[in-house]
Amino acid sequence: MASVFKKGKTWMYRASYLDGHGKRHQPTKGGFRTKALATAAAIEVEHDKHTGVNLGESNITLLDYYDQWIATYKVGKHSRITESHYPTIRRAINEYFGQTVLKDITRTKWQAFINEYAAGTVTPRNPRQPKPRSKDTVSKLNGYIKAMLNDAVADRIININFAAHVVNPGAKPQDAELKFLEMDEYHTLLNYCLEHASLRSMYQYVIIAAIMTGCRASELIALQWDDIDFDKRIIHITKSWDYVYTHDFKATKTPSSVRDIDVPVRLLDVLQKLHSEQRAANLRTGYRDDKDMVFRNVKHEIPGDAALNHGLKRVEDKLGFASPVSFHGLRHTHVSYLLAKHCDIAYISHRLGHSDITITLRVYQHLLKVYQTEQAEMAVDALNVL
């Protein structure tokens, strides 16, 4: 049992326990104004000891445990984009909790932090006008901490996970309107790029490929010539391109994004033309592309996301489109076109690289309403002739 005694004008306690190696430790804490306060603290230590709490780490702060956890379980094991979240979360918990001991944080204290984080008052970008954070942002921070606390419970530093069952007060996301081109604009854009694509305007070749495949930009610019099977009329999507950090290959967005896409002869003819242009230019300059990239331009560069969006906007402005779309909008337009041509939604889902058809149904629910209306009319017409 911990002992409580007076030292000078204040009270203190001294506990005693054996660690896993049989070594005795005597954690001591003083500065209590009354004997009752010291006794209450001693009883809490005894309770922790008997419930299996790791007393050797009992005074570790939330911040210190977070640093240890990130270093042990996270750093070097995930993408750089994922790891960029770690310092952001650290700044938030450091600003709010400082050197607060991990085991002293209750569910109520954590919920209070979550409320302020959601309101944007913790580490705001603009302190004068804090901007509320979305539910998704709040959920990600709480998810990291909840996973960390599961390990803290396993390490017997705390008894419960105070980040479990949190109420997420983050702002609801605005319904993002799915932007896609009308069919006449779709054809106009395609014909323009077919006429003007060249090694000096490589983005137009990529636009043509996006229109005809529905691929993500990162998947297209990662293509190598070996990924294109001209005989079977298939493009193999096996990787994507990291145009933010490494400027090199990386894994696809999800495992299901690895797929084969059937492509029209028209696209293959365009790619053959591009391949011939590249080989002729490389022969003149003596350049050798060790990666054998499909969309490497005359300057031997791979167009990035910003260049593709900028190039697309330039063409859309030139063509006078009333509602121009981003490069990703070409993916949505691809789906819209296939639905209009009555392609099966399950095939479209596979073509897009979605892991589950429910993802496709959720993302394109607005487009599907028109498709479902047509299907309903077809079903009724079929039943009418029974």
Give the pLDDT mean for 214-222.
Answer: 96
Predicted confidence at residue 257, as pLDDT, reads: 95
Note the pLDDT tens digit of each residue in 257-310.
Answer: 999 999 999 999 999 999 999 999 999 999 999 999 999 999 999 999 999 999
| pLDDT beyond 60 at 130 | yes
Predicted confidence at residue 381, as pLDDT, reads: 86
Note the pLDDT tens digit of each residue in 96-128.
Answer: 999 999 989 999 999 999 999 999 999 998 988
Confidence class for position 225, pLDDT limits 50, 70, 90:
very high
Cβ(163)–Cβ(145) below 8 Å: yes
- Choice among 8-12, 48-52, 173-177, 195-199 with the minimum mean pLDDT: 173-177
Confidence class for position 363, pLDDT limits 50, 70, 90:
confident
Residue with token string 């054998």: 292
**Average pLDDT of the chain to the nearest whole number:** 89
Confidence class for position 243, pLDDT limits 50, 70, 90:
confident
Query: What sign for the dihedral angle of Cα 243, 247, 252, 258?
Result: positive
CATH 1.10.150.130 fits 62-154, yes or no: yes
| pLDDT beyond 90 at 371 | no
Give the pLDDT mean for 143-150.
Answer: 96
| pLDDT beyond 90 at 373 | no
Give the pLDDT mean for 347-352.
Answer: 94
Give the pLDDT mean for 193-213.
Answer: 96
Predicted confidence at residue 36, as pLDDT, reads: 87
| pLDDT beyond 60 at 66 | yes
| pLDDT beyond 80 at 254 | yes
| pLDDT beyond 70 at 175 | no
CATH 1.25.40.10 fits 183-380, yes or no: no
Give the pLDDT mean for 311-333.
Answer: 94
Predicted confidence at residue 155, as pLDDT, reads: 86
Predicted confidence at residue 326, as pLDDT, reads: 94
Give the pLDDT mean for 17-37.
Answer: 73
State the CB neighbour count (10 A cutoff) for residue 258: 16
Predicted confidence at residue 16, as pLDDT, reads: 72
The burial of 176, by beta-carbon neighbours within 10 Å (0-12 exposed, 13-18 middle, 19 or more buried), is given as exposed
| pLDDT beyond 90 at 19 | no
Give the pLDDT mean for 356-363.
Answer: 87
More confident residue, 24 or 174: 24
Predicted confidence at residue 13, as pLDDT, reads: 77
Write out the chain in H/E/C secondary structure: CCEEEEECCEEEEECCEECCCCCEECCEEEEECCHHHHHHHHHHHHHHHHCCCCHHHCCCEHHHHHHHHHHHHHCCCCCHHHHCHHHHHHHHHHHHHCCCEHHHCCHHHHHHHHHHHHHCCCCCCCCCCCCCCEHHHHHHHHHHHHHHHHHHHHCCCCCCCCCCCCCCCCECCCCCCCCCCCHHHHHHHHHHHHHHCECCEHHHHHHHHHHHHCCCHHHHCCCEHHHEECCCCEEEECCEEECCCCCEEECCCCHHHCEEEECCHHHHHHHHHHHHHHHHHHHHHCCCCCCCECCCCCCCCCCCHHHHHHHHHHHHHHHCCCCCCCHHHHHHHHHHHHHHCCCCHHHHHHHHCCCCHHHHHHHCHHHHHHHHHHHHHHHHHHHHCC
Measure the CA–CA gap between 91 and 96, rounded to whole angstroms. 9
| pLDDT beyond 70 at 173 | no
Q: What is the dihedral of CA 264, 293, 327, 85, to 10 degrees?
A: 130
Predicted confidence at residue 188, as pLDDT, reads: 97
More confident residue, 49 or 96: 96
Predicted confidence at residue 165, as pLDDT, reads: 93
| pLDDT beyond 60 at 55 | no
Confidence class for position 17, pLDDT limits 50, 70, 90:
low
- Break the chain into its structural domains and give their ranges: 3-50, 62-154, 183-380
Quote the pTM value: 0.66
Confidence class for position 18, pLDDT limits 50, 70, 90:
low
